[in-house]
């Protein structure tokens, strides 16, 4: 009979145990879904900035949930209270769960104290997307920037997070850099905590 | 009259303790913050999640292990609610199922 099988039926989502999670999800399924997300929003906005903002908001919701779930599942219920701690959490744990690998690099900005950059040679969301010339500086990595902002904001480190293309010599496609600019209060608290 | 006053007093004590939680949350990476404030014979215990959502319990007995287990189980339930894409983080949880489960946990651990 269809439906009667090894899977136990739960009456409510709260009864179901929090799973370890499937390690892999179909790449093509995700690429199609993300492409549809971008196209859906494209028809509903008037300009590029609005499109980027919508992608970022979509990512923000993901980030908030990813933070709670990963801290509970992978970090044994320990919160991050320091700046470097939360940055390395994003750079390794979050990236590993979302993209299957740790981010290529984490750098501190040279010009400003409050800027940090996470770079990725071939960001998953940009892999199958090419930006037409008339869209200027639009970057679909805004979705990932939103995820990072959701994680940082939830953990108590408000920041402005944006995605940029950085052309690299030797690489055909530019690498994507997620730029994180922390709010003033974060730096003040870090200084206070010593 | 007595019961109404008591309920308002409890709410007041809990809200007053929020400031203490704010500062204390940044001094430790643990989630369970134990008893953080006292009012007459009532004690406030707090558990802070990774997203800085605070579970606060106003009680009169001292059963730390029971309270810690209670908070951990409520945390798991909270994560399951949070994973719902239609739930706005920070808004009121209206699921009656959630209510029933939390009360059952309270009976079990407290």
Q: What is the pLDDT of residues B1-14, one digit of tens each?
A: 666 788 888 888 88
pLDDT band of residue A67 (cuts 50, 70, 90) is: very high
Which phi and psi (to 5°) does residue A124 adopt? -55, -45
Measured in residues, chain A has a length of 194
- Using H for helix, E for strand and C for coil, what is the string for B16-66? HHHHHHHHHHCCCCCCEEEEEEEECCEEEEEEECCCCCEEEEEECCCCHHH
Cα(A57)–Cα(A66) distance, integer angstroms: 14
Residues of chain A above pLDDT 70, percent: 94
The superfamily in CATH containing domain A27-193 is Trafficking protein particle complex subunit 3 (3.30.1380.20)
ipTM of the complex: 0.86
In the stretch 134-193 of chain A, residues with CB closer than 8 A to chain B read 154-156, 189, 193
Residue A53 burial by Cβ neighbours in a 10 Å radius (0-12, 13-18, 19+) = middle
Half-sphere exposure of A162 (CA within 13 A, CB side): 10
Every domain of chain A and the residues it spans: 27-193
pLDDT tens column, A24-63: 788 899 999 999 999 999 898 888 889 999 999 999 999 9
Q: Helix %, strand %, coil % for chain B, to 5?
A: 50, 20, 30
Q: Assess if CATH 3.90.550.10 describes domain B1-109.
A: no
pLDDT at A1: 58
Cβ within 8 Å, pair B25-A14: no
pLDDT in tens, A151-165: 999 999 999 999 988
- Distance, CA of B36 to CA of B57 (rounded, Å): 10
Query: pLDDT, tens digit, for every residue of B50-98?
Result: 888 999 888 887 777 888 889 999 999 999 999 888 999 889 998 889 9
Helix (H) or strand (E) holding A117: strand A115-120
Name the B residues in 20-59 with CB < 8 Å from any A CB. 25-31, 48-53
List CB contacts (< 8 A) between B26 and chain A: 81, 156, 189, 193
Mean pLDDT of A148-177: 90
């Amino acid at each position: 009979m269809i439906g009667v099988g090894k899977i136990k039926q739960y009456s409510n989502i709260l009864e179901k145990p929090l799973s370890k999670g499937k390690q892999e999800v179909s790449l093509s399924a995700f690429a199609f879904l993300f492409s549809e997300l971008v196209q859906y929003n494209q028809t509903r906005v008037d300009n590029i900035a609005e499109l980027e903002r919508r992608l970022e908001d979509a990512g923000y919701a993901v980030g908030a949930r990813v933070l709670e779930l990963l801290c509970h599942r992978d970090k044994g219920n320990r919160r991050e209270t320091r700046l470097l701690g939360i940055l390395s959490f994003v750079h390794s744990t979050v990236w590993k769960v979302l993209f299957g690998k740790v981010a290529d690099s984490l750098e501190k900005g040279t010009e400003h104290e409050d800027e940090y950059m996470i770079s990725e040679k071939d960001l998953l969301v940009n892999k199958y997307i090419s930006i037409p010339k008339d869209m200027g500086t639009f970057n679909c990595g805004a979705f990932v920037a939103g995820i990072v902002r959701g994680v940082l904001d939830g953990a108590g480190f408000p920041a402005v997070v944006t995605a940029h293309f950085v052309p690299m010599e030797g690489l055909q496609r530019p690498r994507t850099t997620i730029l994180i600019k922390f709010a003033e209060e974060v730096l003040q608290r870090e200084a206070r905590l010593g | 009259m007595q019961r109404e006053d008591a309920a308002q007093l409890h709410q007041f004590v809990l809200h007053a303790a929020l400031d203490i939680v704010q500062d204390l949350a940044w001094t430790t990476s643990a989630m369970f913050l134990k008893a953080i404030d006292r009012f007459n014979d009532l004690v406030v215990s707090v558990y802070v999640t990774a997203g800085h959502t605070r579970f606060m319990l106003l009680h009169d007995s001292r059963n730390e292990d029971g309270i810690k287990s209670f908070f951990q189980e409520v945390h798991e339930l909270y994560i399951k609610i949070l994973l719902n894409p239609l739930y706005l983080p920070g808004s009121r949880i209206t699921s009656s199922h959630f209510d029933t489960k939390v009360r059952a946990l309270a009976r079990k651990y407290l």
